[in-house]
Structure 1
Amino acid sequence: MELRQLQYFVAVVDAGSFSRGAVVLDLAQPSLSRQIALLEADLGQRLLVRTGRGVTTTDAGEALLVHARAMLEISRRARDELGEMDESPGGRIVVGMPPRVALGLSAPLIRRFRQRFPRAVITVLEGLSVALRESLIAGRLDLALLFDPAPSAQLSYQPLMREKLLLVAPPKSKLPARVALPALANYPMVLPSAPNAIRHLLDSVLGPRRIELQVLAEVGAVRTVLALVASGVGCTILPESALGAAGDEALPRAPIGPPGIWNALVLATPTVRPATRLVRGTAQLLQELDFRRHQAE
């Protein structure tokens, strides 16, 4: 069993077929099929079953997949740590960010990363905070920016920014200077759908107070929420930094409370894996960014 064969096996599973896996690996499909067959012969187990839509894993394949991912991750980290012997470390780092954070922060982060680590490669993956947190625990990410993550003994959180949530209304709406929590129930709402961190925060604050919102629609992306608000469908609840695009200035907004509802953006790092020089340096770059300014761009 060779590490290369495990890499090919994982690529085929992730791609869902031999043909797509061959494209990802830049490898001829017959060569890829042969390597998987050699791996199956070496292990004495059938790992993949071809179907009309691609491939599926057998029970043995599912068991191997867990070990293969772990072995490939250990191999990658070993290469990264050896690369740190150079003055400018090489290797690859994967950073997770929520979409609206990535929109403003990816460019300044990558510019500074290229200056600091010219021999290294950075990958920015976007996703909801809940999914990014699970990927960080599973070892698929090296660092992540998360909104209001649940506690975990496997992760360390460093607060970066706190923001107060606002009630945002369609253009020309008349809002009071401040909206009390119970009054939120009077406004028709368009909200991000679970497991969005803002939605979870609202539920955790309003639920115990038995304040039930009039939810007209739920959508996945914050920009889609704002587009619906701008078209007059209803109101929403978001932090100030989410209102940075052209046209958002026409949307009336009002602070909520007392008590106010605050969300928190944190830098999450794993506690169970040693931080390489590249990880530590990238974490420092993230801490140096002006989150409020860049999210508003």
Structure 2
Amino acid sequence: METLYLKTLVVAVDSGSFSKAATVLNITQSAVSQRIKFLEDRYGYQLLDRSGPVLVATEAGRVVLAKAEEILRIESELSNELKHMEGKPRLSLCCTPTFGIVYLPNVLNRFILQNADIVDLKFMFYTPEQAIKGLHENEFDVGVIEHCEALELSEFKTFQLPRDELVFISSPGLQLPSMDVDIDHLLHHRLIARKVGCSSRKLLELNMTAIGRSLKDFKRMIIYDDLRLTIDTVIGGGGIAFVSRSLVKKQLEEGSLLEHRLPGFTHNRFRTVALNKKRTPDKVLQNFMDCIFTTFPSVSVEEEGDSNQNCRL
């Protein structure tokens, strides 16, 4: 039996629905349902309770789930060990979208120029939770994670990058007051928001709750998973958005967008580099880390919790 069936079960339980699992696995909802049905037929037990709004494992499902997670971990470790035996340089990276769009192209260009013999290079854009899960499962060697809350990263070696600043953006045509605004100025407009799980949306939700409001108070809300589409929509006057200022620096300088801050709002989120301790430090990994930190030359990058630690692996 292919382990992808077991992985489908794990993702279905983690996400709580077939539709969300399908999105994570990049397959159809029907395919997810069929894989779970295959497992249930094979083992002779119902593995998921489908009666509620969220999928939960049955008693038998919890037994299979525990073994599935163990099998997937062993498979990942096996894959990593075999890659090491090949003696080929390799590196796998996951990052959250803003870092991926704004900084990753320069980081990769610099890294590839310095490591022309690199054979296996893999990178993915993930939400913070997905990135951490990928690191735990040894799918990735390095994660660059933008987050607004403390994360459980004790299993990884971590470094702090400069914090990321988020602001509301609007088209000048909407004639919103520049810079500091009142929340009521914004609620009359359509909000272009990220999907659930993205740290920019989570930070916005936390801020709205802190001032006694919610995202439902906006005139209307549209969910976009594409940051570039979000920016283009806002430039066209289709709504406002809460995004990283680094994403729209050029448009702000050109005047095609205006930025807005709310008094009392938290406008910064953390940006953390996490290294999988199971990845053996080598020249390739060190070079990649150097390329990341060279992107922020004005800041002395330190290991989390140690002000005297340089980024040496």
TM norm. shorter chain > 0.5: yes
Q: Structure 1 unaligned runs (5+)? A: 1-7, 17-49, 84-88, 293-297
Q: Which residue, 263, 266, 276 being the options, matches 1:270?
A: 276
The gaps in structure 2 that reach 5 residues or longer are: 10-30, 44-62, 299-313
Contact 2:145–2:272 (Cα < 8 Å) also in 1? yes
1:9 aligns with 2:10: no
CA 1:181/1:158 → structure 2, altered by over 3 Å: closer, same or farther?
farther
CA distance in 1, matches of 2:182, 2:207: 9
Larger Rg: 1
Match of 2:144 in 1: 145
My pick for the range that moved more, 98-107 or 234-243, is 98-107
Aligned residues: 246
Answer yes or no: is 1:224 the counterpart of 2:229.
Answer: yes
CA distance in 2, matches of 1:91, 1:68: 26
Q: Are residues 1:126 and 2:129 paired?
A: no
Quick one: which amino acid aligns to residue 246 of structure 2?
Answer: S
Residues 207 and 266 in structure 2, CA contact (< 8 A), matched pair in contact too: no
1:194 matched to 2:196: yes
**Over the residues paired in the alignment, what is the CA RMSD in angstroms?**
3.8
Query: Structure 1 residues 208 and 246, CA, compared in 2 at 3 Å: closer, same or farther?
Result: closer
Counterpart residue number, 1:98: 96
Residue 74 of structure 2 is aligned to residue 74 of structure 1: no
Q: Supply the distance in 1 between the matched residues of 2:32 and 2:199 (Cα, whole angstroms).
A: 37
Kindly indicate whether residue 234 of structure 2 is the aligned counterpart of residue 234 of structure 1. no
What does residue 261 of structure 1 align with?
A: 267
SS at 2:179 equivalent: coil
Question: Do the aligned partners of 1:230 and 1:251 also contact (CA within 8 Å) in 2?
Answer: yes
Deviation at 1:102, TM superposition (A): 2.2
Distance 1:147 1:51, change over 3 A: closer
Q: What residue number does 2:292 align with?
A: 286
Structure 1 residue 12, shift from structure 2 partner: 7.5
What TM-score, normalized by structure 2, do the two folds share? 0.63
Following superposition, the deviation at residue 142 of structure 1 comes to 1.4
Counterpart residue identity of residue 128, structure 1: T
SS in 2 for 1:93: strand
- Please say which of residues 201-210 and 105-114 is displaced more in the overlay: 105-114
Offset, 1:95: 0.3
Alignment partner, residue 40 of structure 1: none
**1:137/1:230 Cα in 2 relative to 1: closer, same or farther (>3 Å)?**
same
Which residue is 2:174 aligned to? 173
Q: Which residue of 2 aligns with 1:32?
A: none
Q: Assess if the C-alpha contact under 8 Å between 1:172 and 1:251 holds in 2.
A: no
Q: Is the 8 A contact 1:243 1:249 kept in 2?
A: no
Quick one: which amino acid aligns to residue 241 of structure 1?
S
SS in 1 for 2:200: helix
Q: Which residue of 1 aligns with 2:107?
A: 109
Q: What is the one-letter code of the residue matched to 2:198?
A: N
Q: Which residue number in structure 2 is paired with residue 164 of structure 1? A: 165
Equivalent position SS for 2:173: coil
How far the C-alpha of 1:56 sits from its partner, in A, is: 3.4
Q: What secondary structure sits across from 1:172 in the alignment? A: helix
Q: Give, in angstroms, the shift of residue 124 of structure 1.
A: 0.9
Checking the alignment, whether the CA contact within 8 Å between 2:176 and 2:185 is kept in structure 1 is no
Code of the residue aligned with 1:10 in structure 2: it is T
Q: Is contact 1:182–1:211 with CA below 8 Å preserved after alignment?
A: no
The question of whether the paired residues in 1 share the 8 Å contact of 2:205 and 2:214 is answered with no
Q: Aligned partner of 1:161: which letter?
A: P
Cα offset, 1:200, TM superposition:
0.7
Cα separation, partners in 2 of 1:279 and 1:11, compared to 1, 3 Å: farther
CA pair 218-146 structure 1, distance change in 2 beyond 3 A: farther
The C-alpha deviation readout for 1:31-64, integer Å capped at 9, x for no partner, is: xxxxxxxxxxxxxxxxxxx999678334598666
Q: Percent identity?
A: 11
How far is the alpha carbon of 1:90 from its aligned partner?
A: 2.5
Equivalent residue letter for 2:239: G
CA–CA distance in structure 2, aligned partners of residues 14 and 197 of structure 1: 25
Kept in 2, the 8 Å contact 1:146–1:265? The answer is yes
1:172, distance to aligned residue in structure 2 (A): 1.8
Distance across 1 between alignment mates of 2:177 and 2:69: 55
Higher mean alpha-carbon deviation, 197-206 vs 104-113, is at 104-113
